[in-house]
Every structure is written in structure tokens, then in C-alpha cells.
Amino acid sequence: MKKSFLIGCGISLIILVTGLITNNYVLYANILLGIGIITVLISALLSGAFLSGPEIRANYHTETKEHREKRTKTMTLTGVFAIPHLVTAALLLLL
């Protein structure tokens, strides 16, 4: 989880510096916001946030414990990866 966060911070830092150098804050903030929203949507899809109760119950009973743990781990990693992008996008938009 720490590695995912640090990779997200690194990518955000590179895009932040690029935005500051080019003095085009809005473009790079939109890029960061896009990356953040896409990763949050991936995390939500993996968590089952867009499913109804019967669908979640069916998925729970048909998937193995290992598959569920892998899905949960991937969901957490993508969610943590999104945090630096969304924070950096907010900072760029406030400039």
C-alpha cells in the first residue's frame, strides 16, 4: 500500500512540476483530476459499489476467498493511488 501511495506521489509531483514550469495550471490539474477520477472509479468497480444487494450476495457466494482478497487488495491499492492525484489537482486548481 505504501508503494502505491509513493508511486502516486511521484507521478503527481512530476505533473505538478511540469504544470508550474509551463505555467499552465488548469491543463495539468485536469490531467491529474482525470487520473484520480479514473482510479477512484476502478476502485469503486472492484468494491462492488455499483451493484445491488442480490448481485453482491451472488458474487460473494461464487468467488473464492483468495479471489476476494486479491480484489480487495487491488481496490485498496487503486484507491490509495488516487489520493495524491486528487490532492495535487485541488492544489493546482487553487493556484
What pLDDT is attached to residue 88? 93
Which tens digits make up the pLDDT trace of 3-53? 999 999 999 999 999 988 999 889 999 999 999 999 999 999 998 888 888
4, 83 contact by CB (below 8 A):
no
Q: What is the pLDDT of residue 89?
A: 93
- Number of domains making up the chain: 1
**Which residue stretches of the chain are H helix?**
2-22, 25-47, 53-62, 65-94
**Domain region containing 65:** 2-94
Position 82 pLDDT exceeds 90: yes
pLDDT at residue 83 tops 90: yes
Q: With 0-12 CB in 10 A as exposed, 13-18 as middle and 19+ as buried, what is 1?
A: exposed
